[in-house]
Amino acid sequence: MKKSNVLTSVFVIFLILLFATVGLLSDHVFKDIEKIIYPEEYFELVVKYSEENSVPAALTFAVIKVESNFDKTAESSAGAMGLMQMMPSTYKWLAESKFDEIPITALLYTPETNIRYGTYYLRYLYDKFGSWEKALIAYNWGEGNFKKFLDEHGYTAGDYDSIPVKETRNYVKKVLHHWAKYEELYDNI
Query: Which residues participate in catalysis according to the annotation?
Result: 67
Integer Cα distance of 88 and 188 in angstroms? 32
- Which 3 state secondary structure label does DSSP give 82? coil
Q: Whole-angstrom Cα distance, residue 125 to residue 145?
A: 13
Do residues 135 and 62 make contact, with C-beta atoms less than 8 angstroms apart? no
Tell which residue, 40, 55, 125, 48, has the closest CA to residue 87.
125
